[in-house]
Structure 1
Amino acid sequence: MTARNHTDLVVEQSQSRVATSALTASWRRSMLKHGLDPGDRRQPDRASGAELSQRREAMEEFLRLAGPQLDRLYSLVGLSGCNVLLTDADGLVLDQRVAEADARQFRDWGLWQGANWSEAVQGTNGIGTCLVEGRHLIIHRDEHFSTRNIGMSCIDAPIWGPDGRLIAALDVSSARADQTVHYNRLIGAQVAQTARAIESVFFRASFPDARIVVTGDEAQEAAALLAVDKDDIAIGATRAARRAFGLEREGAIRPRPAADLLGREDDLSGFDRAERAAVTRALTRAGGNISAAARALGVGRATLYRRMARLGLNRK
């Protein structure tokens, strides 16, 4: 598709009252809400060196934890000419992985650290639209709003912080002319998995003294984790877990017994609950070793087995 034809199509679809797809909704936002011109060929805005350093410093721990995951993703897609990017919640690129041979092309396109890829600035694109819609998506070539971006494919997934708020976007962009929709989907699965891994490791690091409970299917798109304290009280939850258990959408959650959230029968009270918490801690510290847990509690193995049975802690 030529640049002229693409511009005409975007304008027509953006002004149409009939077009209702998610893509045309994004085109419409780009043109009508943000006042952008699909034919504008200017590069994305770039943050100054000082602003980029400030943004990176504000997310220093997150970037440190995300780094190894970016490395793994790049090891899978880098040789095929892909650029791995990590942005903040505003669409500003904070970190990336790219081959030296491909660097000039991506720098010319503005897919570089410090570039602003928000939808409000660049129109429909993988990073910006992912952040607006809060979902995993692929923007392939002429699905972009701007004609200057129709030569690239962008595959993105959102990353949610431990407070349930959107914190970043993970992007893999390709400059290959032969990039296919099928190949984009394969990359998309890796992007989603990596975003989930980054979200999980950052959540775990945010609750260093808590026990982390995986509450959902490991194969699902988002990480459903609960942070549980030494008294078996849930004190933190990822966005997926918040949605699953009807918890506060954002911010700190109201502490609740983990047993209540997980649907476990818990008719114990008083000293029984305290004893179960103590036994659970001892077993956890001992890695499930009954003999070691019994020694830590100062009781015999048989006694510990009886108490576990009474407290509903039978283990295979």
Structure 2
Amino acid sequence: MRTNHAEHIISTVESGSVGTRLTASWRRSLQKHGLDPSRDPGPRRFSDAEIAERRARLEGFMGLAAPKLDQLFQMVGNTGCSVLMTDRDGVVLDQRSKDADAETFRAWGLWTGADWSEEAEGTNGIGTCITEARALTIHRGEHFMSRNTVMSCMDAPIFGPDGELIAALDVSSCRADQTEAYARLIAGVVSQTAKQIETEAFRAAFPKARIIAAPEERPEGAVLLAVDQDDLIIGATRAARRAYGLGFGSQIAPRPASDILGRDDSASALERAERAALKRAIARAGGNLSAAARELGIGRATLYRRMNRLGLNDTGAN
């Protein structure tokens, strides 16, 4: 079985056909990384000191992610699945599995400290998800290594507040009867959980900013903008950066949110959110604009200007 799988991988790559994205990953594994699909030793494991160092780099992020990992495991743990989160290098930093399944996952290398990068293990859920920066499922025989064809892996990337890939979320199954259809169902939950973690990390990175969710949906993640008190964009998720051409990296050149989201005769998402925020503040202050401005952290003159722009003059405020 393993010999046949390895021969299939090699013949497919050497045929030179364009093939699919899966074939492209097999080609990288064989030709770029020089891996042997019949190699027996499992994934290498980093030392405890190296694992601790990698965790320390993501300490705040891991704390935010942990409750979401717990929720995901509650959903899939009883179906013979483990939940893992890796860093951007594909090294497992957090893992959950049922006691009854733990020995199986440990034997497969699906355990804390294991290196599941594509460079080390060839085509696999974690490594290929990171390499291609997209959610995917690698089901049994789609793996590069013959020894990994016993598992099904559903993965999604997690991007940090700077838009760069920071981690990967994985659910792997040890069930021999796991079907591709069921794997697709789990994959949807994995992607949704990854988006939730990304959103939590983004909000935590901009605690004093107003977070705006743009109206369009993007499969690669939440489209969120962080806007300061002057309505300038100071942060954006990866999906937002791609949607609005904001570029990547830790710093964004401040730009008016209204310029990015566009303004027309109908209220934009920004204007609707701003109008609602102003009206709430004025209502809480009982119509006292000075008090409302203090609550919003802006000056009374700035509040007047925003009210005029948004047509909120007739509020009964004083």
How does the TM-score come out when normalised to structure 1?
Answer: 0.88
Q: Distance in 1 between matches of 2:286 and 2:226?
A: 23
Tell me, yes or no, if the aligned pair for 1:286 and 1:293 is still in contact at 8 Å: no
Question: What is the Cα deviation at residue 189 of structure 1?
Answer: 0.5
Deviations 1:124-167 (A, max 9, x none): 00000000000000000010000010000000000111111111
Mapped to 2, the partners of 1:55 and 1:309 lie a distance apart of 48
Contact 2:282 2:289 in 1 (8 A): no
Aligned to 1:271: none
Query: 1:14 Cα deviation (Å)?
Result: 1.5
Describe how 1:259-298 pairs up with structure 2 within 5 A. Answer: 259-264=258-263, 284=277, 287=280, 290=283, 292=285, 294-297=287-290
1:219 CA drift (Å): 7.4
Instruction: Tell me how far 1:249 sits from its aligned partner.
Output: 2.7
Distance 1:142 1:313, change over 3 A: farther
1:197–1:133 distance in 2 versus 1, CA, 3 Å? same
Structure 1 range deviating more: 181-190 or 219-228? 219-228
Q: CA deviation at 1:264?
A: 2.5
Q: Which residue of 2 aligns with 1:167?
A: 166
Is 1:247 paired with 2:240?
A: no
Q: What does residue 68 of structure 1 align with?
A: 67
Q: 1:135 and 1:313 mapped to 2: Cα distance?
A: 43
CA RMSD, Structure 1 to Structure 2 (Å)? 2.5
Q: Match for residue 270 of structure 1? A: none
* Structure 1 residue 5 displacement after superposition: 1.0
Give the AA of the match of 1:184.
A
Preserved contact between residue 91 and residue 113 of structure 2 (Cα < 8 Å): yes
Q: What corresponds to 1:197 in structure 2? A: 196
Tell me: CA distance 1:120–1:227, structure 2 relative to 1, closer, same or farther (3 Å).
same
Q: 2:308 is aligned with what amino acid?
A: R
User: How does 1:176-215 map onto structure 2 within 5 Å?
Assistant: 176-215=175-214
Code of the aligned partner of 1:194 = T
Q: Counterpart of 1:310?
A: 308
Number of residues paired by the alignment? 297
Tell me how far apart the structure 2 counterparts of residues 285 and 46 of structure 1 sit (CA, whole Å).
54
1:192 maps to amino acid? S
**How far apart are residue 218 of structure 1 and its match?**
5.5
What does residue 299 of structure 2 align with? none
Q: Secondary structure at the match of 1:116?
A: coil
Q: 1:134 aligns to what?
A: 133
Cα deviation for residue 310 of structure 1 reads 3.0
Partner residue of 2:88?
A: 89
- 1:284 CA drift (Å): 3.2
Deviation per CA, 1:186-218, whole angstroms, max 9, x where unpaired?
000000000000000001000111010001446
Partners of 2:306 and 2:284 in 1: CA distance: 13
Query: Which stretch has the larger CA shift, 7-16 or 121-130?
Result: 7-16
How does the TM-score come out when normalised to structure 2?
A: 0.87
The one-letter code of the counterpart of 1:284 is A
Letter of the 1:36 counterpart: L
Q: In the alignment, which residue of structure 1 is the partner of 2:34?
A: 35
Q: CA deviation at 1:297?
A: 2.1
Structure 1 stretches lacking a partner, 5+ long: 267-276, 300-304
Which runs of 5 or more structure 2 residues have no equivalent in the other structure? 266-270, 293-302
Distance 1:308 1:40 in 2: 65
Secondary structure, aligned partner of 1:168: strand
What CA distance in whole angstroms lies between the structure 1 residues aligned with 2:307 and 2:165? 43
Superposition deviation, residue 68 in structure 1 = 0.6
Q: Secondary structure at the match of 1:172?
A: strand
Deviation of 1:311 (Å) = 1.9
Tell me the residue number matched to 1:78: 77
